[in-house]
Amino acid sequence: MNAFLTVTYGAATYVFFLATFLYAIAFVGNVAVPKTIDSGAAVPLAEALIVNLLLLGLFAVQHSVMARPVFKRWWTRIVPEPIERSTFVLAATAALALLLWQWRPIADPVIWTVENPGGILALNAVFWLGWAVLLTSTFMINHFELFGLRQVFARMLGRILPPAEFRRRYRQMPRRDSGGWCGESFWPAVKLGPPCAGPRRRWKPT
């Protein structure tokens, strides 16, 4: 793949990720998009749990398998190294997009609900803070390297990338990243759903 196609591929993948990420925020928050976590035809609880767990499992397995050094060594024999990260991002985003598209709403049972205005305000704050933590945590390393842009532009410019530089201790990253996912998930009128992956809710964030 020549340099121009490499950059085009990486940039298009990043735009796809960014659009899907923004849609995921609205999806979880039940705001401004046609398909949300609570919308769609009602289905039996067992069907919803099975389908949703399979979708979450696919997303998790893709992340786990493609991030393994053994897989990367095999994968870069097929995919050129400059677009390896972009291809990972493309696969992860496709898995997330599939989850958002095929998610089955769970109407009942309601586990807990918050009706107090102060409580709703606090949970709204946690919701938006969680997404902010999730996004800003990517800048604790190199955001553009994490999503493959740095690699494809280095290929175009003929540069060799130095080893990744961490702006904070790497061991803090999983906690902060996971904290962001959990923070955006816990929010008013939560119903039965996978923890830290979009529980069910009736209220919209403000």
- Structure confidence by residue, pLDDT tens digits, 35-82: 998 888 888 989 999 999 999 999 999 988 998 889 988 988 899 888
Encoded amino acid at 171, one letter: R
* Ramachandran bin of 135, using left for φ above 0, alpha for ψ from -120 to 50, beta for the remaining angles: alpha
- Structure confidence by residue, pLDDT tens digits, 94-153: 999 999 999 999 877 777 788 888 888 888 888 889 888 988 888 887 888 888 888 888
Which class for 88: exposed (0-12), middle (13-18), buried (19 or more C-beta within 10 A)?
A: buried
pLDDT at position 93 over 90: yes
Handedness of CA 63, 67, 73, 76 (dihedral sign): positive
Quick one: average pLDDT of 9-30?
A: 93
